[in-house]
């Protein structure tokens, strides 16, 4: 039977503040720079040998990041300088369970004090049990990471098809098409030059019962690199954006737009309407489909035009809706637009299926982790194969 000993966090690991690294001092390299919110860049030099564990000291508190490789922890974070002979991945799980952000040790600026954290009471098992716990959590994390990489690859494939057809004009049958002059330069014969607001509906109107709660999407629910978005709650009311499945959510405020916040709504039931932040611009295809609309919203030129139109006070600038009236595109024939949807849709559907599986994995992980690191589950008898098999 596993024996869990009562001790303190400082007895099982030593936390230390990260190191200053001004942006002007950073040099090109492959060493991850880790802040309180995760990897925020790279550098040519490492301060800490991997494997390592980093958690937020200021800003994003309580987040925990495990690094296999050497890294540079920033001064907004704490890192584990000494694991005291314990298993690093188990220590990462333990720190995550403790949710160190609850131990706010600063008054004016939210933060944590490492000396205070070292006094927190914890339970610690023998190394063999730590290894088994790390293997269980690691299996879930590994599967989720594989799914994230597959989602990224699927989106890259869809984006490449979009660029090939509608930027380079190398669509199926392009060899037989003549190019004609246009205000945009040579475009295939039979294509039209239209504005974005002619090609798309901007903030389309939807009737909704404001007394009924609907799935609600916040800006935090949008991803900077992926279309995947799920509602974080339900709300009723009058204000905010309204949208349905197939609509694209486009951040209109700085720095969310510059950072890439964009989502393709795929998770609503057919009869439901989503509600969202007032800082979303809703895009819906008028002459094109949902896949084209989303991938256009990811196009650097389309985004650049929106960013240049921003106005307002510093730090709170917003996209001007008129910018879509002055952004011109080569609009494909309807038949080709439909053919593109048939090519891109399966990729985006598969990406959303993987994202849904990751949500299931996250729920399993959230349920298991506190029970594992406190000894409530006997890991020697735990068999996750049936559970993991259902989400692979």
Domains 5-124 and 192-331 share a fold: yes
For the chain, how big is the Rg over CA atoms in Å?
25
Split at pLDDT 50, 70, 90, the class of 389 is low
Tell me which CATH homologous superfamily contains domain 5-124: DNA methylase specificity domains (3.90.220.20)
Report which of residues 262 and 56 the model is more confident about.
262
pLDDT tens for 17-68 read 999 999 889 999 999 999 988 898 999 999 999 999 999 876 556 689 999 9
The mean predicted confidence, pLDDT, of the chain is 91
CB 59 within 8 A of CB 51: no
- CATH fold label, 192-331: Adenine-n6-DNA-methyltransferase TaqI; Chain A, domain 2 (3.90.220)
How many CA atoms lie within 13 Å of 244's alpha carbon, on the beta-carbon side?
A: 13
Task: List, in order, residues 6 or more apart from 63 with CB less than 8 Å away.
Answer: 36, 37, 38, 55, 56, 101
Please measure the distance between the N-terminal and C-terminal CA atoms of the chain and give it in whole angstroms. Answer: 32
pLDDT at 390 over 70: no
Tokens 């720079």 map to which residue?
33
Which value, to the nearest 10 degrees, does the dihedral of the CA atoms of residues 308, 163, 230, 53 take?
-90
Split at pLDDT 50, 70, 90, the class of 391 is low
- 3-class secondary structure for 127-149? HHHHHHHHHHHHHHHHHHHHHHH
pLDDT at 195 over 90: yes
Strand-pairing partners, residue 201, are 284
Q: How, if at all, do strands 192-195 and 328-331 pair?
A: antiparallel
Closest of 52, 90, 86, 100 to residue 369, by C-alpha: 90
Tokens 């339970």 map to which residue?
123
Question: Which pLDDT score, from 0 to 100, does residue 99 have?
Answer: 78
Mean pLDDT calculated for residue range 197-226: 94
Question: Which pLDDT score, from 0 to 100, does residue 105 have?
Answer: 44
pLDDT tens for 280-328 read 999 999 999 999 999 999 999 999 999 999 998 777 899 998 999 999 9
The residues spanned by each domain of the chain are 5-124, 127-174+333-392, 192-331
Mean pLDDT calculated for residue range 111-123: 85
Cα(12)–Cα(67) distance, integer angstroms: 19
Q: How, if at all, do strands 52-56 and 64-67 pair?
A: antiparallel
Question: Which pLDDT score, from 0 to 100, does residue 182 have?
Answer: 96
Closest of 51, 23, 49 to residue 35, by C-alpha: 23
Tokens 């070292």 map to which residue?
118
Tokens 């298991």 map to which residue?
368
Split at pLDDT 50, 70, 90, the class of 152 is very high
Closest of 262, 255, 252 to residue 225, by C-alpha: 262
Question: Which pLDDT score, from 0 to 100, does residue 344 have?
Answer: 97
Question: Which pLDDT score, from 0 to 100, does residue 59 have?
Answer: 54
Whole-structure pTM value: 0.85
Question: Which pLDDT score, from 0 to 100, does residue 84 have?
Answer: 97
Among 31-45, 104-118, 277-291, 362-376, the least confident range: 104-118
pLDDT at 185 over 60: yes
Question: Which pLDDT score, from 0 to 100, does residue 9 have?
Answer: 95
Question: Which pLDDT score, from 0 to 100, does residue 153 have?
Answer: 97
Split at pLDDT 50, 70, 90, the class of 86 is very high
Tokens 């300088």 map to which residue?
81
Among 48-52, 116-120, 122-126, 186-190, the least confident range: 116-120
Task: List, in order, residues 6 or more apart from 350 with CB less than 8 Å away.
Answer: 154
Percentages of the chain per state (helix, strand, coil), in multiples of 5: 40, 25, 40
Backbone angles phi, psi at 344, to 5 degrees: -90, -30
Split at pLDDT 50, 70, 90, the class of 384 is low
pLDDT at 392 over 60: no
Split at pLDDT 50, 70, 90, the class of 264 is very high
pLDDT at 387 over 80: no
CB 202 within 8 A of CB 281: yes
Which value, to the nearest 10 degrees, does the dihedral of the CA atoms of residues 238, 241, 243, 247 take?
180
Quick one: which H or E segment has residue 283?
strand 280-285
Instruction: Calculate what percentage of the chain has a pLDDT beyond 90.
Output: 81
pLDDT at 87 over 90: yes
Q: Is 324 exposed, middle or buried (0-12, 13-18, 19+ CB in 10 A)?
A: buried
pLDDT at 271 over 70: yes
């Amino acid at each position: 039977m596993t024996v869990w000993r009562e001790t303190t966090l400082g007895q099982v690991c030593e936390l230390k503040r990260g190191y200053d690294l001004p942006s002007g001092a950073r040099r090109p390299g492959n060493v991850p720079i880790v802040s309180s919110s995760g990897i925020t860049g790279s550098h040519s030099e490492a301060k800490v040998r991997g494997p390592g564990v980093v958690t937020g000291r200021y800003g994003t508190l309580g987040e925990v990041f495990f690094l296999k490789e050497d890294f540079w922890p920033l001064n907004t974070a704490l890192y584990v300088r000494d694991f005291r002979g314990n298993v690093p991945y188990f220590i990462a799980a333990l720190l995550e369970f403790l949710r160190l952000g609850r131990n706010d040790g600063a008054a004016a600026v939210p933060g944590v004090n490492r000396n205070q954290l070292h006094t927190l009471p914890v339970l610690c098992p023998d190394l063999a049990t730590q290894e088994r716990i790390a293997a269980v959590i690691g299996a879930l994390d590994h599967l989720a990471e594989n799914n994230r990489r597959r989602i990224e690859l699927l989106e890259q494939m869809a984006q490449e098809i979009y660029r090939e057809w509608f930027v380079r004009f190398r669509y199926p049958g392009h060899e037989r098409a003549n190019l004609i002059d246009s205000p945009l330069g040579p475009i295939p014969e039979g294509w039209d030059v239209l504005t974005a607001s002619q090609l798309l509906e901007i903030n389309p109107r939807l009737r909704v019962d404001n007394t009924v709660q609907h799935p609600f999407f916040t800006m935090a629910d949008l991803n900077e690199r992926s279309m995947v978005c799920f509602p974080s709650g339900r709300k009723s009311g009058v204000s905010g954006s309204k949208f349905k499945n197939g609509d694209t959510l486009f951040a209109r405020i700085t720095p969310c737009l510059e950072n890439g916040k964009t989502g393709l709504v795929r998770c609503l039931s057919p009869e439901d309407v989503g509600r969202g932040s007032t800082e979303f611009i809703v895009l819906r295809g008028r002459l094109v489909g949902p896949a084209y609309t989303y991938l256009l919203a990811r196009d650097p030129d389309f985004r650049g035009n929106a960013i240049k139109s921003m106005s307002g006070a510093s730090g709170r600038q917003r996209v001007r809706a008129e910018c879509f009236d002055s952004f011109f595109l080569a609009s494909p024939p309807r038949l080709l637009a439909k053919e593109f949807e048939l090519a891109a849709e399966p990729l985006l559907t598969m990406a959303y299926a993987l994202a849904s599986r990751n949500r299931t994995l996250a729920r399993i992980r959230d349920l298991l982790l506190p029970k594992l690191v406190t000894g409530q589950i006997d890991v020697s008898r735990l068999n996750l194969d049936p559970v993991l098999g259902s989400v692979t």
